[in-house]
């Protein structure tokens, strides 16, 4: 691989939460497919991929999302592509869930004895290590964490391609989920809305230079 340290840092310095997209500029099909492929290849806890990605192209649906997604309005108005990341709910993420069996058997092609060991380890993790079974919200939030790994990889890849992005949590989750369910694009028994993102090309320069805490203030070396 010919990617240099400078290439990586340049991409991270280029990236910012774009607040104004140029609606006349569209991401090429090849580049956006790369962004989606990076999401598909992203790591998840136990490799169970508790996510789904909705690419919203329908303008009528965007118009309905606009008043209930205040943080997404700039993206809905001009971004080339608008993505809603869904997280799987408890029904799919319990150790004995059919979805978990599907991933182990049909995707990972595990032999039965390995599936049994993996399921036991996963069950122990849920019950004892992370206490995920204390509430439906706890296990759903765990699944949502995984979607942020995919989102981060999507945004970094976009930046390396010279494409802007904006991660979005500014929306009424209940209203958005009800709308998507009514539109037939969300199975609310199995999925909830985790986070959104706009992708496209900036129509203005960032208002200020990137600011972050010093490395020494956020890193502790334990020797």
**What pLDDT, in 10s, does the model give residues 33-48?**
999 999 999 999 999 9
C-alpha distances out from residue 205 to 19, 28, 84, 142, Å: 10, 22, 25, 35
**Mean pLDDT calculated for residue range 180-202:** 98
Residue 209 has pLDDT above 90, yes or no: no
Residue 1 has pLDDT above 80, yes or no: no
Please give the model's pTM, rounded to 2 decimal places. 0.96
Q: Residue 141: its pLDDT value, please?
A: 98
**Mean pLDDT calculated for residue range 71-77:** 97
CATH fold of the domain at 5-93+137-206: NADH Oxidase (3.40.109)
Helix ranges, the chain (H): 5-14, 29-41, 59-65, 73-78, 90-93, 98-102, 112-124, 136-160, 173-182, 215-218
Average pLDDT, the chain: 97
**Mean pLDDT calculated for residue range 83-96:** 98
Q: Residue 173: its pLDDT value, please?
A: 98
């Amino acid at each position: 691989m010919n990617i240099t340290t400078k290439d990586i840092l340049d991409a991270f310095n280029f990236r910012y939460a774009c607040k104004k997209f140029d609606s006349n500029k569209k991401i090429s099909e090849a580049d956006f497919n790369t962004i989606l492929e990076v999401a598909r290849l992203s790591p998840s806890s136990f490799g169970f991929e508790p996510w789904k990605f909705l690419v919203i192209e329908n303008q009528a649906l965007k118009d309905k999302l606009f008043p209930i997604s205040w943080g997404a309005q700039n993206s809905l108005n001009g971004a080339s592509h608008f993505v809603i990341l869904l997280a799987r709910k408890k029904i799919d993420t319990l150790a004995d869930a059919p979805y978990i069996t599907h991933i182990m058997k049909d995707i990972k092609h595990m032999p039965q004895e390995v599936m049994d060991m993996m399921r036991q380890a996963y069950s122990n993790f849920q019950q004892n290590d992370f206490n995920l079974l204390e509430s439906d919200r706890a296990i759903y939030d765990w699944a949502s964490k995984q979607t942020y790994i995919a989102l981060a990889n999507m945004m970094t890849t976009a930046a390396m391609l010279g494409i802007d992005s904006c991660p979005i949590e500014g929306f009424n989750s209940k209203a958005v989920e009800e709308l998507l369910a009514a539109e037939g694009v969300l199975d609310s028994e199995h999925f909830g809305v985790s986070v959104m993102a706009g992708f496209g090309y900036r129509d203005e320069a960032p208002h200020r230079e990137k600011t972050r805490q010093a490395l020494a203030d956020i890193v502790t070396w334990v020797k």
